[in-house]
Structure 1
């Protein structure tokens, strides 16, 4: 789960992470597509951006459960609307915030 304000660097973090995983794909923000799929030598990675969703039913409408249940890595930006539904899933949470002195990153 990637949390942070607009422009904090959530997608940039994802770009660097996937390059480290060996992906040759062009990594971009899934703001309008909601989910992007990338290939790495170890399997697929799903990259979600839930910013535009109005409620959790929209996540169900595009099939978020099927993506999350497949066993591949999923990176979710703006996960707040879906957090209650993640009970029972193992996940890491990272918050990136812009500050006057740069960026602050917190892991939970």
Structure 2
């Protein structure tokens, strides 16, 4: 699926569409700095019924949110240097006990996802718009 974000309100429609298409509990978010990964996550969690304040997990590495459907874990792996650091934070435990794991900057972990089912979203900031692909 392809989307274009021209206005902040467009995130709402994308969040609703993504929720309706979720089949797996892992969502990889790819995009450059400032592309809108955390903004999308804020809209997604609101649409999942969370009343928690959603912030970037840049420094905490993982944030936990409650929704009526279960726990959502929001990761930012940008600062992790290797796969061992990913395992040190207990990634497998989170994956096993979540409704959804949203993983920003998943490249350090992506190879180990082989065999697991997940969704992937790419957000590209073109300067005027955001171009989004989701599968």
Shorter-chain-normalised TM-score: which range?
Answer: over 0.9
Distance in 1, Cα, partners of 2:95 & 2:114: 12
Residue from 93, 96, 100 that aligns with 1:73: 100
Q: Which runs of 4+ in 1 moved over 6 A?
A: none
> For the structure 1 residues 66 and 54, does the alpha-carbon distance in structure 2 shift closer, same or farther, using more than 3 Å as the test?
same
> For the structure 1 residues 28 and 71, does the alpha-carbon distance in structure 2 shift closer, same or farther, using more than 3 Å as the test?
closer
Structure 2: gaps spanning 5 or more residues: 1-27
Quote the offset at 1:89 in angstroms: 1.4
Quote the offset at 1:71 in angstroms: 4.3
- Highest RCO, 1 vs 2 (Cα 8 Å, sep ≥ 6): 2
Match of 2:89 in 1: 62
* TM-score normalized by the length of structure 2: 0.77
Quote the offset at 1:101 in angstroms: 2.8
Offset from partner CA, 1:52-90 (integer Å, 9 cap, x none): 001111001111111112242100000011001111211
Distance in 1, Cα, partners of 2:63 & 2:79: 15
Structure 1: gaps spanning 5 or more residues: none
